[in-house]
Amino acid sequence: AQKVTQAQTEISVVEKEDVTLDCVYETRDTTYYLFWYKQPPSGELVFLIRRNSFDEQNEISGRYSWNFQKSTSSFNFTITASQVVDSAVYFCALSESSGGGADGLTFGKGTHLIIQP
């Protein structure tokens, strides 16, 4: 079963519009972390945010904001007043605390965001 679902494969908006990228996750752990990464055409995954499961406060960083709702297992990402430089693939990822040792992240399939000038 897919643990991180990004149902929007591709979104295209005109510059200055607001856009929300959806992320729904699945876990049995009570302690877990959620992440968002941005992947521009250059390929590097750029870390945007990390949120633990006990902190449901929404976060705002400039034009970026995140809405974490445990009741719906969602961690959505909103870009306000989008710009062409925001065009990229955005990944939501989950890390669960159960088990021992190091582990990688479980990623969603990503949402390709296109901002048109």
Which one of residues 27, 66, 91, 115 is an interface residue with other proteins (CB under 8 A)?
Answer: 91
Interacting residues with other proteins between 50 and 69 (CB under 8 A) = 50, 52
- 37 vs 115, beta carbon nearer other proteins: 37
- What is the smallest separation between the CB atom of 20 and other proteins, expressed in angstroms? 21
Which one of residues 58, 83, 97, 116 is an interface residue with other proteins (CB under 8 A)?
Answer: 97
Cα–Cα distance, 78 to 94 (Å, whole number): 18
**Residues 6 or more apart in contact with residue 99 via CB below 8 angstroms:** none
Query: Where are any strands of DSSP class E within the chain?
Result: 4-5, 10-14, 19-21, 24-25, 32-39, 46-52, 59-61, 64-69, 74-79, 88-96, 106-107, 111-116
- What is the smallest separation between the CB atom of 63 and other proteins, expressed in angstroms? 21
Cα–Cα distance, 73 to 3 (Å, whole number): 11
Q: Does 24 bind other proteins (CB under 8 A)?
A: no
The separation between CA 1 and the C-alpha centre of its own chain, rounded to angstroms, equals 19
- What is the smallest separation between the CB atom of 46 and other proteins, expressed in angstroms? 8
List residues near other proteins by CB under 8 A: 4, 31-33, 35, 37, 42-47, 50, 52, 91, 95-97, 99, 101-110
